[in-house]
A and B are shown apart, each in its own frame.
Chain A
Amino acid sequence: MANFLAQFQTIKNSCDHLVIAVEDVSDLWPIVKDWFEERLPFKRASLNNKTRNPVFVEKLAAEFILTTDSRLRSRFPQEQLLFWFREPYATVVLVTCEDLDEFRTILKPRLKLIVQNDEREWFIVFVSKAQPNNENATKSAKKVYARLEVEFSSKKRERCCKLDIHCPEANFWEDLESKIMESIRNTLDRRVQFYEDEIRKLSEQRFMPVWNFCNFFILKESLAFMFEMAHLFEDALREYDELELCYLETVNMIGKQRDFGGVDRGDDQAVLLNPGNKPLTQIVQDDSFREFEFRQYLFACQSKLLFKLNRAFEVASRGYSFIISFSKALALHENILPFCMREVWVITACLDVVNATASHYVDGLVAPDIEKEFYRLQGDLYSLCRVKFMRLAYLIGYGTEIERSPVNSASLSMLPWPKPAIWPSVPPDALSEVFSKEKMILQETRRVKHFGIQRKPLPLEPSLLLREANRRRASLSAGNMFEMFEGRPVFNEGSGSEASTKMSPSQKVRSGVMSRTNSSPGNFESAIDRPMRLAEIYIAAEHALQHTISNPSLWKSLSALEEFEQKYLELTKGAADNYHRSWWKRHGVVLDGEIAAVCFKHRNIDLAAKSYEKVCALYAGEGWQDLLAEVLPNLAECQKILNDEAGYLSSCVRLLSLDKGLFSSKERQAFQLEVVNLAHSEMKNPVPLDVSSLITFSGNPGPPLELCDGDPGTLSVTVWSGFPDDITLDSLSLTLMATSNGDEGVKALRSTSATVLEPGRNNITLDLPPQKPGSYVLGVLTGQIGHLRFRSHSFSKGAPVDGDDFMIYEKPTRPILKVFKPRALVDLAAAISSALLINEPQWVGIIVRPMDYSLKDAVLQIDTGPGLAIEKSHVIEMESYADVSQSAADVGKSDAAHKNGSLAIDKHFEQLRLNDGRIVFPGWANNVTSVLWIPIRAISDRLARGSSSVSPQRQSIVDGMRTIALKLEFGVSHNQIFERTLAVHFTDPFHVNTRIADKCNDGTLLLQVILQSEVKATLTIYDAWLDLQDGFAHTRKGDGRPNPGFIPLVISPNSRAGILFSICFEMSNAEEEAKAPQPDSILNIRYGISGDRTIGAHPPAVESPGPEVVRQDLIFRSALVLKRPVLDPCLAVGFLPLRSGGLRVGQLVNMKWRVERLKDFEENEVLKDDDEVLYEVNANSDNWMIAGRKRGHASLSMKQGSRIVITILCVPLVAGYVRPPQLGLPDVDEANISCNPAGPHLVCVLPPALSSSFCIPA
């Protein structure tokens, strides 16, 4: 049956559409032909597919052929059967007839005859030529047509239709088409049925020896072809798939293995898209199908259909897997195929599929994920092609030009060498090429990586080509190959190029031999016996390839280095671009890296850098450091060449921060050197360099540094350097960030001094200026290396793991510094509250109490106010201060201690010098409360005045006040300042009060002097005398001293004592007149004081009081006023009665007093003009409200009996019996006042009258 093949193919090629037979009974075809054919192709046909489901087919092509046509004539029945698909699918019978009888007699039998053969699907088109206006003609035509229908149409099938030439009915053509369709459908179904039966019959016996694939094939393909003609591509495709399946499992069965094919010229070029490439007759020889051609043929058919179905994607995916599996098949038969046939075939196949699918592919037609996958497949095809291409290139000696990158190594070193039966040997005429090749090999030097990185180049070959090639040569056995190579261990590892260079000496030896052997070809033949050298292998392979490769363009791209690189680039780009549009981003990026390598070689550095950037980003992003370490140096080199300092530096830093293991220390040092050199060279535009990955820092473990407000401190930080060597940072600064308030912002601490970072851990201390209160965390570390500013954000990874690093838990950055809110750090207070002696050197005590804050070398500035002076002559004493209760307990003891200047054992005591008002504290006083004793003297020049009944006012506290301004500077750098002004109270020891106690009738007056102790100390009076003023004299010629029996007189604190003096009036005489009148008399007291300075007044401070207690006497002088007349009234104060009606609360009332002079003074009485009196009204302020002045002067003449009335307006505030206001005359001794009429002791105040207002006018 195989002999039908040729015919079969011709038929297939001749016809590609359905045929519709036209039985033109009454020569109508010429008339209607055009009308019929303009219906073609049928717009919309509905057919049944193989599974008998209706399918709609667009534009079904078809052809009307008259049955008389030769093409439908004379077929042998069985071939008719075989090629049934080409037979007509419908028969249209064209008839016309006007006359019924004619129809009955002639036409009907003829038609019957035609349609009796029910093989074919037929129907009748009745054409009426009748003019529409011609009544009877049309009528008769109708009649005939009716007749016709009766005869030929049946119930189940309508087989007639009528065409009016002159006025065709509207729906005629639809009717016609539907009829044609119906027929075609039926025919198709029947034929499909037939083929399927045949095929089933055959496939049942497929495993029997009689089985013949050829028949099966023809049937199957006929069916497929028929489907194709009917535009049922799906079904056609299915047929081909089944056919392929069947082929693979029958023909490829063991034993049935026939010749494989693929040895013809041009077979190296895959034909995956052109079924008609080879006539089937060539493919099939004595009904065995050659696998090589036939499988490609099948795939071609399939792909054709797929393209018709717009499924370019499927072509690609099927294509890829087909190529893979087919290249396996090629591998099986490699020994019969030409050298490297397999590689070449794959290359061409891939390119075919890629181009075809790419051209057929329309974007957006398929779902996005399909689209992505389509591009992936394209990428796959490209890269497969690329690999094979590189393999060929390596074989002919371009290996050194191929980048030894991971991707190339991965794809090539795992790809086995071609295994020809016999490795090609050098053609005799190629020696010159061999030499040139050798020269090339010798000259080529492996490019050494930047930074002088030494790496063993990745292999591009599965095993050493040299050995492989020689092993596959006829005359050499693998055995002696081995021992000849074990001699040279260098061959066991490394690339071919290495091997060749190592081999060079032996070549030198050989070259002589070669030149000799050239002469005689005979010798050359014998040269086979010795192993080929690399150059020879290359050349041999080149020549062999030249024979294999029939495609000139492919050969061209292998013929020269530039061509190779161009092709290589094209393939790589193709793969990369497609991968980029697919899911496989990584593949894309990696291939970009390969492109970059080529660009770099061609000094297209910009492009190279960009691509390398991408690759590095990819690897860095996912932490594939090993791979990154391979690419990063290339990037760095590009950047260096481009003079991109920032990029270069960051690359160096990244290199340094990779795993230590990835580079030798020497290389790492090289990186660092680069950084440092560049940093110190002139950088045009210095950009801050981020070294976060390299230099990390952290606070020291443990609690944060705690400072008081305003204190500076030193912050110590751990810095981890990833540099292999020490590196010098010209400056270093570290920012602190306040955790509490953001706006507080960032404080930078800088250490301008150069710091040297050793590799690994470093401790760095920075001095910390005073910060605002709050807690701070470490911010960013910045610094300067030469002109290079660098930055590091990252806290130490290397820092000691404190517990929860291993938990994936966002750890809050630990505060490194706490600054406390301002608070009192120290307190200064006066040690005593009671008064000190005025005008005497006294110790004033200042208690210095540190509040858990050290007063280390604190300085106190003392500044005394007006009227106070520091006794420079004395040293200042400082002693630790026991708290009050204790000191109170052993006051005596401490007292004694001070008396003899010896210290108590448990106490510190120290004498300090004051220099220009500053005192430096001793060390022991840092943290203990201490008291500072300062010798001072309060100066007041005015004489103390005693008070008498005449002048009762006493000196006020204020003029005893003195102030000491204290300023304490302390803290780490005396930054803390505490200021306080202490008030110290000074006073005279006594306050003196005198009164005339009595007046004797002999005129002696008893003057009583009352001494009030003003100090908290015991006073002892040793002596007292009185210097009297004029007009007074001491009685009985004495020195005016009191009775010595009283002396000495001891006055304990706050007690009073009295001294009596007897004096008398003194007659003035002339010589008394002469000397200046003495205004008032002076009281002199010599006294001693014994007191404790911790309590109050005490003996005056003396320079180094000796051990034995010396009593030091002090003199106190006070002025007294004595006044005449003594003890007889000279003024009378009378209370004028109130008006009747009594007083009411809230009622104004006038109080009146009358003051009258009882007697006028002696003329000789010389006094300050006394014509006015001072008055004063005293009233209890809660009982009375005084309106107007309480105190004032009223003029009163000196005449006896002269009088005035003093009126005071006042309001009683409470009801009941209250004491009325009293009028007093402060200037006049009570003794000189007689009260008559005397004022009432109490007055009655009535409750307020019921009134809305309290104020009723008097």
Chain B
Amino acid sequence: MGREVSESCVDSLLTEMVSSYCDRFYANKPELAARRIEAIGFQVGHQLSERYTMERPRFSDNLEAIKFICKDFWSELFKKQIDNLKTNHKGTFVLQDNRFRWLARMSIDPSSEDGDLSQDNSAPVTENKAAQATSMHLYFPCGIIRGALSNLGIPCAVSADISSLPACSFVVRIKA
């Protein structure tokens, strides 16, 4: 399917935001940068949820809201639904997206590694560098989810982890 321009704009906007927060504003304070990015995401999600829940009956319970996030909200944002939703029925939900758009075109450039590192330990280094970079990019969607849910009256904490690169799963812990 052909990508639309706006989409790529969003992609580059995201990367630009992440880089400017991580490398410029809060160069040596990653956790602060993460918080700011997450906060921006929060506001975005807050407003989007307002818009996307128009014209629909109110949710009777948390599960409905989460489902809404997985289905309608996600497809509004990414033209696809969450692929897999798991829950422990104690307020923790795992939303898995097998091909998360904002990671889809992300890759680690091995040449960025300095060559003199011997092969065996350069691999892990690449790994966790990749992890850092991508996790930085994931604070924004986490914020979006958190913002949306909290605007729906569900205070929660959202974290994300990457199993294998384009796939990614968000963990929502609802504050009791």
Contacts and interface: CB of A to CB of B under 8 A. Distances in A.
Contacts of B42: 807-809
A363 interface: no
A806 interface: yes
Interface string B3-42: 0000000000000000000000000000000011001101
Contacts of A808: 42-43, 46, 150
Nearest to A804: B39
A200 to B, nearest CB: 42
Contacts of B39: 804, 807, 809
Interface string A465-501: 0000000000000000000000000000000000000
A803 B25 CA distance: 12
Contacts of B40: 807
Residue from the set A806, A807, A808, A809 with the largest chain B CB neighbour count within 10 Å: A807
Interface string A788-821: 0000000000000001101111000000000000
Interface residues of A, number: 6
Interface in A263-322: none
Contacts of A807: 39-40, 42-43
Nearest to A806: B43
B35 A809 contact: yes
A803 B39 CA distance: 11
Contacts of B46: 808
Contacts of A804: 36, 39
A807 B40 CA distance: 7
Interface residues on B, range: under 10
Contacts of A806: 43
A803 B46 CA distance: 17
B78 to A, nearest CB: 23
A808 B155 CA distance: 12
A417 B67 CA distance: 54
Interface in B55-71: none
B141 to A, nearest CB: 16
A807 B43 CA distance: 6
Contacts of B43: 806-808
A213 B171 CA distance: 70
A1093 to B, nearest CB: 48
A213 B20 CA distance: 85
Nearest to B38: A809
Nearest to A807: B39
Interface in B120-176: 150
Interface string A150-182: 000000000000000000000000000000000
A42 to B, nearest CB: 49
Nearest to B36: A804
Nearest to A803: B36
Nearest to B150: A808
B100 to A, nearest CB: 23
Residue from the set A803, A804, A806, A809 with the largest chain B CB neighbour count within 10 Å: A809
Contacts of A803: 36
A799 to B, nearest CB: 18
A806 B43 CA distance: 8
B47 to A, nearest CB: 11
A704 B5 CA distance: 44
A907 B46 CA distance: 65
Contacts of A809: 35, 39, 42
A808 B143 CA distance: 11
A803 B43 CA distance: 12
Interface in A805-863: 806-809
A802 to B, nearest CB: 11
A809 B35 CA distance: 9
A432 B176 CA distance: 73
Residue from the set B36, B39, B42 with the largest chain A CB neighbour count within 10 Å: B39
A809 B40 CA distance: 10
A739 to B, nearest CB: 15
A807 B35 CA distance: 11
Contacts of B36: 803-804
Nearest to B43: A807
B4 to A, nearest CB: 28
Nearest to A809: B39
Nearest to B35: A809
Contacts of B35: 809
A811 to B, nearest CB: 9
B62 to A, nearest CB: 19
A809 B39 CA distance: 7
A803 B42 CA distance: 14
A810 to B, nearest CB: 10
A961 B132 CA distance: 63
Nearest to B151: A808
B26 to A, nearest CB: 12
A818 to B, nearest CB: 16
A804 B41 CA distance: 12
A748 B39 CA distance: 34
A249 to B, nearest CB: 34
A808 B150 CA distance: 10
A804 B35 CA distance: 10
A710 to B, nearest CB: 29
Nearest to B25: A803
B39 to A, nearest CB: 4
A1065 B150 CA distance: 116
A804 B37 CA distance: 10
A704 to B, nearest CB: 15
B3 to A, nearest CB: 30
Nearest to B44: A807
A806 B42 CA distance: 11
B54 to A, nearest CB: 21
A244 to B, nearest CB: 35
A806 B44 CA distance: 12
B48 to A, nearest CB: 14
Given A804-B36, A808-B42, A809-B42, 12 more contacts: A803-B36, A804-B39, A806-B43, A807-B39, A807-B40, A807-B42, A807-B43, A808-B43, A808-B46, A808-B150, A809-B35, A809-B39
15 contacts: A803-B36, A804-B36, A804-B39, A806-B43, A807-B39, A807-B40, A807-B42, A807-B43, A808-B42, A808-B43, A808-B46, A808-B150, A809-B35, A809-B39, A809-B42
**A-B pairs, 10 with minimum CB distance:** A807-B39, A809-B39, A807-B43, A804-B39, A807-B42, A804-B36, A809-B42, A808-B42, A807-B40, A806-B43
